[in-house]
Amino acid sequence: MSQHTAVTPDLSGGDSRGVIRIASVAALGGLLFGYDSAVINGAVSAIGEVWHIGAGALGFAVAAALIGAAIGAMTAGRVADRVGRLMVMKIAALLFILSAIGCVLAPETTAGLVIFIVFRIIGGAGVGFASVIAPAYIAEVSPPQIRGRLGSLQQLAIVTGIFLSLLVDALLVHATSTGQPDGMLWFGLEAWRWMFLVLAVPAIIYGALAFTIPESPRYLVAAHRIPEARKVLTLLLGEKNLEITINRIQGSLAGETKPSWRDLKNSRTGKIYPIVWIGLIASMLQQFVGINVIFYYSNTLWMAVGFNTSSAFTISVITSIVNIATTIVAILLVDRIGRKLLLMIGSVGMTISLAVLAVCFGTASMVPDATGQLAPVLHGASGPIALVAANVFVIAFGMSWGPVIWVLLGEMFPNRIRGAALSLAAAGQWVANWIVTVTFPGLKDISLGLAYGIYTGFALISLLFVAKFLTETKGRTLEDMDDALGEDRPAASDVAQAS
């Protein structure tokens, strides 16, 4: 164990309400993240009609934001290490605003489609920035004893953003005379354009509130702005053992060069640290269990159970509300029972519920739908069982892998590599999201039972992975995470003396 971890300072005190407010502002990026990710669902049909494009081009337009998200996530951590966490929040807000305006103004020409895709990629970059900076900042400003609950605010904001997106889409379509996304509304804009424009409102609020919260004390110490760091730490944690805390942060950041991607490798062996691989795999497993299939393609499931299109949309909204409720459960539990146990409970629930879905759809009858294509239809008890299983899956994910992974990604990496490692893990998550999104239609055409069987396999892998590789982080300070590198870092006293 490295020398600087010998003393654990008392971090009680400080302004707890202030910390909650600060974390809530940072988590607003998650709301934009959720809204921007889901808003495309209500506009898909209108986009296809406006630009007269086929399934391939439409699929690319829909997935364009995921490309931007991966790019944004890969760069966000490094940008945050150079210009600060708050500046990245402001950049993310600007990207969301630009995306909203650009999508609204894209003309109905071939060039307009290109413009639309470009601005969707820009919005995706904002999503990528928000997905990295919110968990990192919240972890860096939160006392250990409530860090899990505050980190879970990111996922609560994401699922709330998804719900608001579905709600706004439904209200806007209902406000048109035709009841369709391409129906005209105010100022001569179609409903689908208003869906994107609404995003600008929370984006402006997020950007404005970013001017009201302090910079991360870990970044301030790294930037040698010690007086400012001391002031922020006093606000967050109180004055007790303040200098010990600052010295420990300095010790964890000690090095002769500025943080870079090279820090992800062990300087002695040249290999990437195991903790980086663990974070990347855990992040990708969050998507490989197929959660976005429930939100992006849920109508297929509900219609197979026997609901019509209108009822299927209503159930999708209800499912998003269930996701919010279960995320609140995770917030209440994560600092009590810990991250690892919560993830394992969730993995068990996901494995069982997905296995039930795989069996139900694997044995379903295939009947031609209105377009002549074969679609699964569940008879007898299979329908209600699948309906329950799908919601159990959402509950199991929402109380565990949804919020807890964001908590872990914000806190599991040592200070010096947090920006780069979190960027890599978040980018991996967006790549996994893209893979699941683009492969599900093909898997569905082969067999929904096969699709859910694959997700069942990943859910089981997630259980085994957590049991073997993840270390509990509940109650530990961020400086304790240096032990994950397996290297001795300079002692706090040595850093203080050298400086």
The residues that bridge with 377 in the sheet, in sequence order, are 365
More confident: 122 or 140? 122
Average pLDDT over residues 263-274: 81
Q: What is the enclosing helix (H) or strand (E) of 452?
A: helix 448-469
More confident: 263 or 486? 263
Question: Smallest Cα–Cα separation from 362: which of 460, 458, 454, 453?
Answer: 453
Q: What is the enclosing helix (H) or strand (E) of 368?
A: strand 365-368
Query: Percent of the chain beyond pLDDT 90?
Result: 17
Question: Taking the alpha carbons of 229, 485, 406, 480 in that order, is the dihedral positive or negative?
Answer: negative
> In this structure, is residue 59 part of a structural domain?
yes
> In this structure, is residue 497 part of a structural domain?
no
CA angle centred on 79, ends 76 and 81, rounded to 5° = 110
> In this structure, is residue 498 part of a structural domain?
no
Question: Smallest Cα–Cα separation from 71: which of 95, 103, 94?
Answer: 95
Instruction: Tell me which amino acid residue 184 is.
Output: M
Whether the predicted pLDDT of 152 surpasses 50: yes
Q: How many CB atoms lie within 10 A of CB 450?
A: 14
pLDDT attached to residue 2: 37
Query: Percent of the chain beyond pLDDT 70?
Result: 81
More confident: 211 or 386? 211
Average pLDDT over residues 350-356: 96
Average pLDDT over residues 8-29: 71
In the DSSP assignment, the letter for residue 215 is: P
Q: How many CB atoms lie within 10 A of CB 178?
A: 10
pLDDT attached to residue 311: 64
pLDDT attached to residue 151: 80
Q: Of 104-118, 228-242, 319-333, 368-382, where does the model show the most confidence?
A: 104-118
Tell me the per-residue pLDDT of 59-79, one tens digit each, with 9 for 90 and over.
777 778 888 888 888 888 888
pLDDT attached to residue 327: 86
Q: In whole angstroms, how far apart are CA 85 and each of 25, 138, 141, 210, 253?
A: 13, 10, 11, 10, 16
Whether the predicted pLDDT of 355 surpasses 90: yes
Task: Give per-residue burial for 118-137: e unless 16+ CB within 10 Å, then b.
Answer: bbbbbbbbbbbbbbbbbbbb
The residues that bridge with 225 in the sheet, in sequence order, are none
> In this structure, is residue 499 part of a structural domain?
no
Whether the predicted pLDDT of 55 surpasses 80: no
> In this structure, is residue 480 part of a structural domain?
yes
Question: Taking the alpha carbons of 218, 223, 228, 230 in that order, is the dihedral positive or negative?
Answer: positive
Whether the predicted pLDDT of 1 surpasses 50: no
> In this structure, is residue 401 part of a structural domain?
yes
Q: Of 54-68, 71-85, 93-107, 407-421, where does the model show the most confidence?
A: 93-107
User: What average pLDDT does the structure give for the chain?
Assistant: 80
> In this structure, is residue 95 part of a structural domain?
yes
Give the Cα separation of 395 and 330 in Å (integer).
10
Question: What is the separation of C-alpha 269 from the centre of its chain, rounded to a whole number of angstroms?
Answer: 32
Q: In whole angstroms, how far apart are CA 50 and each of 116, 185, 267, 371?
A: 11, 16, 54, 22
Tell me the per-residue pLDDT of 3-18, one tens digit each, with 9 for 90 and over.
333 333 344 455 577 7
More confident: 375 or 12? 375
Q: What is the enclosing helix (H) or strand (E) of 377?
A: strand 374-377
Give the Cα separation of 213 and 20 in Å (integer).
11
Q: Supply the range of the domain harboring residue 436.
A: 3-492
Identify the burial level of 205 via C-beta atoms within 10 angstroms of its C-beta, where 0-12 means exposed, 13-18 middle and 19 or more buried: middle
Q: Which stretches within 363-447 are classed as H helix? A: 382-398, 401-411, 418-446
Count of domains for the chain? 1
- Specify the CATH number for the domain of residue 446: 1.20.1250.20
Tell me the per-residue pLDDT of 126-141, one tens digit each, with 9 for 90 and over.
988 988 888 888 888 8
Give the Cα separation of 296 and 121 in Å (integer).
19
Residue 2: which region, alpha, beta or left (left: phi > 0; alpha: psi -120 to 50)?
beta
Question: Smallest Cα–Cα separation from 376: which of 388, 361, 354?
Answer: 361
